[in-house]
Structure 1
Amino acid sequence: MTLNAFIHVQHLLGTGHVVRAAAIGKALAAEGVSVTLASGNRIPPTLDTGPLEIVELPACKSPDAAFKRLVTLDNEDIDDAWKSARVKASIQALEARDYDLLLTETYPFGRRQLDFELTPLLEAAEARSKPPLIATSIRDILVRKKELWKERWMADQALKYYDRILVHSDPDFIRLGDSFPFADDVDALVRYTGYVGTAARPSSGSADGEDEIIISCGGGAVAESLLSAALDARPLSRRAEDTHWRVLIGHDISGDAFAIYKQSAAEGVFVERARPDFPELLKRARLSVSQAGYNTVLDILVAGVPAVFVPFAQVNETEQTQRAVALARHGRAVVIPEEGLTPERLAGAIDDALALPRSSHAVRLGGAEESARILIQDLKERNA
């Protein structure tokens, strides 16, 4: 008998959420599960959704990094009529087939602004003659809330509706309790899957990176302070002034700005565009200096290289800081705030991090495949 899975995902600014949801969906499909992916935003054309059946819900997004408002793709505020249409579309999609599994990406541990839709969806699922297994898929770090009641609500919502919580991290480094104060309350539902990472890339054959300091910034659009400090920090370092520093600048930074960074670099500092062999460079490097996004940190953990993290922390962003601090507690990194960053402070953090040992710990990967295995096993046990 073919199992049927319904995955609900909403990405608001970046595409990481839908990429992760699609990866889990394809892993389920590889095990013979028929998967429907209901997306609340336009799926990027570069994302291969393979065998997944796609349902496009009335689309919305966040207009900025504050995540205080939802707007349509035409930047119009959503209203009650739009919300009603969204709820109707979600429930109709769920009721189109007898689904054995309902998986919500992030919610209820985020996306609370979509509760107008998702609580009715969960209630519709529970009201079926044969309710589906209900699970949620969450990243390694949750964004802390200023009001504790919001986090209490997350735990209560999970306990009320959910059968399984999939946490996409390696628990040897990051556990749910590192960013969620009520982790003990939901612990019986939690399974750690390992990281949902990108596919292995072919070797470039380059020897670049050997014993170097590698400074990276993802796309680069929000990394000006890190890049500016890094260009002048090398002569100020006591432990790393004798090696090459390689600064990788993302393609979100204009050609004119890139040229200025290149011209401004101190002696011994190479400036170039971000490279697809970044994970290889890290494996040969003496140290990594970067922000603390999910994918970058995963590459650093796999490489085993010591790190300096300068987390992106503008507006209400806390995720990168929490991820960086969690890894620092495990002796894998030194963390320095973005605010007030100077070449002197960065050089000092680099010197401190160079005293950390390399790690040979085998980071748990394969999070999408492990998620599929866990969910299918849950369904088998439920139907036994």
Structure 2
Amino acid sequence: MKKIMFYCQYLSGMGHLVRSSEIVQSLAKYFQVYFIVGGPQIPGFELPTQVEVIRLPALWLEEGKFTVGSSPFTVEEVKAARKNILIAECDRIQPDCLITEFFPFGRHKLLFELIPLVEHIKKISPKTKIVSSLRDVIGKESDPEEEETICNLMNRYFDLLLFHADSRFQTFSDSFARHQEILAEVIHTGFVTQLPKFTSTPFEKLWSEVSLDTVKIVASIGGGRIGYEVLEALIKSSAILSRKLPHVMKIFTGSFMPVEKVKQLKKLAGDRDNIQIETYTPQLLEYMQTADISVSLGGYNTTMNILSTGVRAIIVPIGHEHVDKEQLHRTQKLEQLGIVNSIHPQDLSPLVLSEKIGDCLSKKTSNNSRIFDLQGADNTANFLKMFLNSQTAALSLV
């Protein structure tokens, strides 16, 4: 069985980890997988059990700067340790393939460990394939210098690019202006999505005792570092909605929302028993399957959940530091297809949100999401199986 090292670093949210976990689970059907995780642990989030998880000393960003939280070591000490661990693990595993999630299209702050790693692989095992795993929209607009760096890194180290989108929605050429300069093969895998299943959790346990005429609203903002204002507006909108629309709100703040902000939201909700606030749930997909409407940001994994469940959805596309256009770009395309509704962050208010909820509930859900390939994780595994086997066969003929 061939061996794959899959490197995933989430610096501010948890979207990269969620998507990577789905891919890794599919890869484990055919490969021996080593899942390298570089961010902080997330209470309640279960990593795939059928792979070997390698946890690097946690490193993440706060206000644009690296932090190690309460670790007794400095940032520089952690960086040095991580670099050494990666090389040591590479020597131990001797992988047939290294997959770097989002790098080199992002994660340039991690060049201190990624360049030594790929250089080491090229030196001791030139037959090892190096692959980039990339979401549908890169994010902030690259400047010419950054684009040059991406092209140089791709062409120097990488054999393949896995682009996790349906080409009918977004192509790699749509995402990267200098796509023609990339020498590696580019594969559009389809969207990496958690596919809905018949819920094993009783409806009553998800939503307590909710009458048939009560509207069920689920709200989530990913990791929780951004999006507080969406949940604040939603809680305030409850008073407006209550005048004409019996409802219950299930709100998930995200594991990375500061404790003080969670307290503020709970204080705002007061003693309203129709507003339930929790930090994290592994059952978000089940809530979205059974909800009447979803209110969220427009990150990759949340929008994939919207596509797979078909839930009515309102998205407020807020980018990190309000300069990342990833969510805005994705949301606008989905809204044009009639799949979601959106509110621009500048227009967000309790009144606007309450009116948008009413409008959405009066419309039929769209079937347009069914045109997309949502089997991106399995497609990735199947393609890599063929790709790595073909490379082995080609080498045996040399």
**Percent pairwise identity:** 25
Q: 1:370 aligns with which of 356, 369, 379?
A: 379
Cα deviation digits, residues 341-384 of structure 1 (max 9, x gap): 22343345456656865222335334333222111111112122
Q: Distance in 2 between matches of 1:25 and 1:314?
A: 26
Q: Distance in 1 between matches of 2:232 and 2:69?
A: 36
Residues 13, 225 of structure 2: 8 Å contact kept:
no
Partner of 2:229: 225
Cα deviation digits, residues 164-191 of structure 1 (max 9, x gap): 2223334444444554433454484233
Instruction: Work out whether 1:61 is the aligned partner of 2:59.
Output: yes
Q: Which has the higher contact order (CA 8 A, sep 6+)?
A: 2
Q: Distance in 2 between matches of 1:184 and 1:245?
A: 51
Unaligned runs of 5+ in 2: 205-209, 255-260, 394-398
Shift of 1:195: 1.5
Partner of 1:114: 110
Instruction: Work out whether 1:327 is the aligned partner of 2:359.
Output: no
Partner of 1:214: 217
Cα deviation digits, residues 260-302 of structure 1 (max 9, x gap): 325579xxxx423467765456456664332223332222212
Q: Which moved more, 1:181-190 or 1:121-130?
A: 181-190
Counterpart secondary structure, 1:332: coil
Instruction: Work out whether 1:98 is the aligned partner of 2:94.
Output: yes
Instruction: Work out whether 1:250 is the aligned partner of 2:252.
Output: yes
Q: What amino acid is aligned across from residue 258 of structure 1 in structure 2?
A: K
Partner of 1:291: 297
Shift of 1:115: 1.2
Q: What amino acid is aligned across from residue 288 of structure 1 in structure 2?
A: S
Q: What amino acid is aligned across from residue 220 of structure 2 in structure 1?
A: C
Q: Distance in 1 between matches of 2:131 and 2:221?
A: 31
When residues 307 and 78 of structure 1 are mapped into structure 2, their CA distance, relative to the original with a 3 A threshold, is: same
Residues 4, 100 of structure 1: 8 Å contact kept:
yes
Partner of 1:204: 202
Residues 331, 340 of structure 2: 8 Å contact kept:
yes
Counterpart secondary structure, 2:321: coil
Q: Which moved more, 1:170-179 or 1:144-153?
A: 170-179
Cα deviation digits, residues 112-166 of structure 1 (max 9, x gap): 1111221222222223354211112223332214634213422332233212222
Instruction: Work out whether 1:192 is the aligned partner of 2:189.
Output: yes
Counterpart secondary structure, 1:104: strand
Cα RMSD (Å): 3.8
- TM-score, structure 1 normalization: 0.79
Shift of 1:12: 2.7
Residues 137, 166 of structure 1: 8 Å contact kept:
yes
More helix by share: 2
Partner of 1:307: 313
Instruction: Work out whether 1:87 is the aligned partner of 2:86.
Output: no
When residues 271 and 185 of structure 1 are mapped into structure 2, their CA distance, relative to the original with a 3 A threshold, is: farther
Q: Distance in 2 between matches of 1:215 and 1:9?
A: 28
When residues 280 and 208 of structure 1 are mapped into structure 2, their CA distance, relative to the original with a 3 A threshold, is: farther
Shift of 1:228: 3.8
Q: 2:269 aligns with which of 251, 261, 265?
A: 261
Residues 291, 311 of structure 2: 8 Å contact kept:
yes
Aligned length: 373
Partner of 1:379: 388
Q: Distance in 2 between matches of 1:292 and 1:227?
A: 14
Partner of 1:162: 158
Q: Distance in 1 between matches of 2:342 and 2:154?
A: 32
- TM-score, structure 2 normalization: 0.76
Q: What amino acid is aligned across from residue 297 of structure 2 in structure 1?
A: Q
Partner of 1:149: 145
Counterpart secondary structure, 2:318: coil
When residues 303 and 202 of structure 1 are mapped into structure 2, their CA distance, relative to the original with a 3 A threshold, is: same
Q: Which moved more, 1:36-45 or 1:94-103?
A: 36-45
Q: Distance in 2 between matches of 1:3 and 1:246?
A: 49
When residues 78 and 366 of structure 1 are mapped into structure 2, their CA distance, relative to the original with a 3 A threshold, is: same
When residues 174 and 71 of structure 1 are mapped into structure 2, their CA distance, relative to the original with a 3 A threshold, is: same
Q: Which moved more, 1:346-355 or 1:138-147?
A: 346-355
Q: 2:366 aligns with which of 341, 359, 363?
A: 359
Residues 210, 285 of structure 1: 8 Å contact kept:
no
Partner of 1:343: 350
Q: What amino acid is aligned across from residue 197 of structure 1 in structure 2?
A: Q
Q: How does 1:72-83 map to 2 (within 5 A)?
A: 74=71, 77-79=74-76, 83=79
Q: What amino acid is aligned across from residue 66 of structure 2 in structure 1?
A: R
When residues 171 and 307 of structure 1 are mapped into structure 2, their CA distance, relative to the original with a 3 A threshold, is: farther
Q: Distance in 2 between matches of 1:132 and 1:147?
A: 31
Cα deviation digits, residues 24-73 of structure 1 (max 9, x gap): 33432322x2222333345557534424334444x241241x43335476
Q: Distance in 2 between matches of 1:75 and 1:323?
A: 40
Q: Distance in 2 between matches of 1:49 and 1:281?
A: 21
